[in-house]
Amino acid sequence: MKTSFLILAIVLLFSSCRKNELDKIEGPSLKDQYGKFQVINEFKASKDSVDFYNGQSVYFEAEFSKTVNWTLSITGMTSGAKKVFQGTGKIIDNTSTTWNGSTTQFPVFKTENCKAVLKFDSEPDTFVVYVKALSKKNNTGFLIADFETPFKSGWSSFIQSGANMDFQIKSDNTAAEGNAHYNMAGTVNWDWLIGLVNFKATAYGAPVFPLNANPGSNYFNVLIWGEPGLTNSLVLFQFQEDDNLNGTFTSQNEDMYSLQVNVNWEGWKLISVKYSDLTCLVNGAPATPSGNKQLEPNKLMQINMLHLANPSSGYAKTKLDYMIITQNAPLEP
Amino acid sequence: MKHLFIVLLFLLSFILNAQDEKRIEFIGGARSVLSQSSIDTEKEDTITAKKQAGGYALIDLGIKIKPSTSTEIVGMFRIKNDFGGFWGSGVTFDVRQLYVKGIALKKIKYQLGNIDHKLTPFTFFNHNNDMLTQSVGFNSVKQEVINYETFYSKNTWRQQGAIVDFALKFPNQQNKVLFNGFITHLNPAGTVVLEQMFGGGKMNFVKDSTYALGVNFASVFDVKGTANNTAAYRNNVTSVNYAYTLALGSINLKFDGESGASNQFKSDKSINRKDDYFVYLNSTLSIFKNKLKIKGAYINVGADFRSAGAQSMRVDYALSNSFYTRYTNDQVIRGVSMYDLYNDATLYRSGISTGIMNYNPAINNIQPYGLATFNRAGFMGAIELNDSLKIVELTVNYNRLKEIRGQGTLLKRNFDEVKSTIKYSLSRQFKWKKSQVISLSSVYQYTNRRSDFVYEDIDLNSYQINIGLENEIVKGLSIVGNYFIITARGNEILPFRNENGDVTNFTPVDYLLKQEFYCLGLKYNFSEFTHLSLFVEQCKTATNGYDKYGINQALIYYIMKF
């Protein structure tokens, strides 16, 4: 018994000789958090100019002596478009700052010089580099309207005869994409409808839009403007499916799905919705579709865009730009 | 429904009483507390009610039923009446404890229901980490009340579950093997929260008083399939405890200790897994017929050692005081202080926690989770002195510890702690009939980490002094007084941990704390189990980050146990 205790004591004595943990620390480094801020590798862009249209991208690099919360803002010097990256760390590299020409704050970038500014939450230092965008980003998908060209002959519209009616394509520096957008404004005090535009598939040379049959892989995207000081606009999109593929839509026995957007923000905003998330609405309330009750984007024959407002709310105004259907993911403008 | 239950319990007790008087026993206690308090603040306060009067009366009435010689059933309910309740609105009824225990097959002890249980200091143990000083007087009365309310008894945790105990004795030898097993319920299942259980046991081999060897196991585990969640938590701790006593005439030399390992993970064992071990070796030299004991111990508890059953803290610093919760015109929350730890039982937990709980470095920065505190290594020494007449009882501890793994840096904190308690009985010294006892208990803690970089420097020292006096003036009636002071100065860098216990951030904190409270009053002992205390007390607190305040109280305690 004494021997076993002796053996046990020796084993325990050896086991107590823990190797000192000289190279391990618990938690993040205090030096990273509270140490002196120094630039180890200068802030720079991976290239001076970048051709976004042909799939090129640019990234930014820098390394610091401590962990910092950083914000990288890229601003189009002509358009005023802005792309923002944010992060926390000691290193800025391609994993955190790869820019493919996309936009965080509208309008979208044009072919222009861009200024990239790096700032920190806890440090006063600011670093700047310049990059030239040789072309704007090319978005893949079926473009329904960017309003850069005149009203298509296949589109149709109806505009109420209210006061201060202004439904037209406008070319000015307020467009979200390109140089033009569709303006919709006016006062109609007897009806919710102010005006509408019907985008027919036949305007693009086919009885239905060229979309695949999977409603989960098609995304409807549109840029909508919220007029400062006005929150009464509703934009209603109706998606009419030709269930029996006879070339005409019959509301009594074919499906129509809707997307109603309450425009209660200021400035441009991207609205993206998966086709499978569309619902059937009657006067804004969910309802049962009249047709085969199947979401079938490959049978979509017409998209109606209605600008609505409560008749008692007075003047309503919104704008529309860059309506596109993308595949597998929402639009990254 | 509660009233019906109580009536039925009474009826049942009377029926059984009529059958056999010895089978029924009433147990429990009663307490009444009456208080009048006021708060003074240095900053203007026109919002807080400056004076409060309150109190309550409660009775814990338990019925111990013995349907047979080998079975015992205890049911205890509590009736509490908060003073000021109108038409019974302040009256509450609760079931305080309920258990069945007995002996099966004349060999196996069992208990079902509420159980108070512990294993070893590293596996399952209720360490008292925040009350580092001891005292006689009203502070001990308050501690007694808190321990009763929270079921803290001899370092056990109150659990709901079952225990079994049995022993194997070898024929014609003094050797025996003791077995214990338990299973308790920690958390009920929710939609995504899995049912959580706590189980384990021990096997102790004992040979007379010379050798003892035990194997212990404790495990907190989620029960898979009880909720819509596949990440089941596991925390297993296995240890070996040992003791060997060598008698050399009038000198006794004892070696004892515990060593073991832990692991913690969720279902996928490779994710957030923590494995580590600990060693605690202690030696005690007893001389002069045990009047003098000299202890020396080595402790090494790994940074990733996790033991939910032994690292759960009594005090939950995430809670707020229930007494003058807010003060000043800004109605800021009054921080939890030592004064509150003596007065507010709602700050204490009654169950174990699987997360790493926050602690207050000003109160205990050396071993905030008791002996089971992880990331500590070093030596612990103690001297205990007492005479055969118990005139003087003296204990001095010195602990010199160091971190094993640096926090946020490769540098490690160093810890020094000196604790001493002296209890002196004048009545025994001068053979007076009336009890005259004075006690002085103190603790000094010092934490430092020196660095070339200011942001890594830590320098924090704190001390607590607790003085108590019981001076019997006539038979049973004593003048009782207490004085307590805690100060803390310096800085610490507090770790912020995620739910897995990993440090994710740090917060530098400066300490400049001084709190003192003293009380004086009378205590009358009706019997060993019943006493009445009347006292007044004053508390003054000044700490950086909070506005200064003072609290005055007049209290009456009546405590009875039966």
Q: What is the mean pLDDT of residues A173-189?
A: 91
Last residue of a domain, one of A135, A152, A179: A135
Q: What is the CATH number of the domain that holds A39?
A: 2.60.40.1930
For position B480, what pLDDT does the model report?
95
For position A19, what pLDDT does the model report?
58
For position B66, what pLDDT does the model report?
92
For position B279, what pLDDT does the model report?
95
Instruction: Say whether both A155 and A282 belong to one domain.
Output: yes
For position B176, what pLDDT does the model report?
85
* Length in residues, chain B: 562
Instruction: Say whether both A287 and A264 belong to one domain.
Output: yes
Last residue of a domain, one of A135, A163, A197: A135
Residues of A in contact with B242 (CB under 8 A): 5, 8, 12
**A28: nearest CB among B240, B298, B505:** B505
**Using an 8 Å Cβ cutoff, are B446 and B461 in contact?**
yes
* Fold entry, domain B107-561: Maltoporin; Chain A (2.40.170)
Residues of B in contact with A69 (CB under 8 A): none
Q: Is A23 contained in some domain?
A: no
Distance in angstroms (rounded) separating the CA atoms of residues B52 and B37: 5
Q: Is A34 contained in some domain?
A: yes
Q: What is the CATH number of the domain that holds A289?
A: 2.60.120.260
For the ranges A26-35, A177-186, B416-425, the lowest mean pLDDT is seen at A26-35
Domain tally for chain A?
Answer: 2
- CA neighbor of A277 nearest in space, from A220, A202, A208, A205: A220
Which two structure tokens, joined as six digits, stand for A300? 């979509």
Q: Is B5 helix (H, G, I), strand (E, B) or coil?
A: helix
**Using an 8 Å Cβ cutoff, are B129 and B359 in contact?**
yes
Q: Is A129 contained in some domain?
A: yes
Domain boundaries, chain B: 1-40+60-101, 107-561
Distance in angstroms (rounded) separating the CA atoms of residues B349 and A220: 54
Instruction: Say whether both A179 and A84 belong to one domain.
Output: no
Last residue of a domain, one of A83, A104, A135: A135
Domain around A70 = 30-135
Whether chain A has a CB inside 8 Å of the CB on B404: the answer is yes
Instruction: Say whether both A162 and A205 belong to one domain.
Output: yes
pTM for the whole structure: 0.75
Tell me which of B411, B456, B494 to substitute to probe the interface with A (most A C-beta atoms closer than 10 Å): B456
Instruction: Say whether both A176 and A236 belong to one domain.
Output: yes
For position B457, what pLDDT does the model report?
96
Q: Nearest C-alpha of chain B: how many angstroms from A70?
A: 18
Whether chain B has a CB inside 8 Å of the CB on A38: the answer is no
Q: Do the interacting molecules here have an ipTM over 0.90?
A: no
Distance in angstroms (rounded) separating the CA atoms of residues B10 and B4: 10
pLDDT tens by residue, chain B, 562 residues: 445 444 444 444 444 444 555 588 999 999 999 999 999 998 888 988 889 888 899 999 999 999 988 999 999 999 998 887 666 677 889 999 999 999 998 889 999 999 999 999 999 999 999 999 988 889 988 998 999 999 998 899 999 999 999 998 877 667 789 999 999 999 888 888 899 999 999 999 887 778 889 999 999 999 998 988 888 999 999 999 999 998 888 899 999 999 999 999 987 767 778 999 999 999 999 998 888 999 999 999 999 999 999 999 999 999 999 889 999 988 988 989 999 999 999 999 988 999 899 999 999 999 999 999 999 999 999 999 988 888 999 999 999 999 999 999 999 999 999 999 999 998 888 888 888 999 999 999 999 999 999 999 999 999 999 999 999 999 999 999 999 999 999 999 999 999 888 999 899 999 999 999 999 999 999 998 999 999 999 999 998 877 899 999 999 999 998 8
Higher pLDDT, A94 or B206: A94
Q: Is A208 contained in some domain?
A: yes
Distance in angstroms (rounded) separating the CA atoms of residues B291 and B79: 46
For position B1, what pLDDT does the model report?
45
Instruction: Say whether both A166 and A272 belong to one domain.
Output: yes
Q: Is A1 contained in some domain?
A: no
For position B14, what pLDDT does the model report?
47
Instruction: Say whether both A239 and A147 belong to one domain.
Output: yes
Residues of B in contact with A26 (CB under 8 A): 303, 375, 405-408, 495, 503
**How far lies B60's CA from each of B80, B96, B263, B559, in Å?**
9, 8, 41, 11
Distance in angstroms (rounded) separating the CA atoms of residues B86 and B91: 9
Instruction: Say whether both A68 and A198 belong to one domain.
Output: no
pLDDT in tens, A36-66: 889 999 999 999 999 999 999 999 999 998 8
Instruction: Say whether both A150 and A126 belong to one domain.
Output: no
Residues of A in contact with B505 (CB under 8 A): 27-28, 33
Q: Is A16 contained in some domain?
A: no
For position A295, what pLDDT does the model report?
92
Instruction: Say whether both A197 and A322 belong to one domain.
Output: yes
Proportion of chain A above pLDDT 90, given as a percent: 70
Mean pLDDT estimate for chain A = 90
For position B546, what pLDDT does the model report?
79
Instruction: Say whether both A318 and A191 belong to one domain.
Output: yes
Instruction: Say whether both A156 and A48 belong to one domain.
Output: no
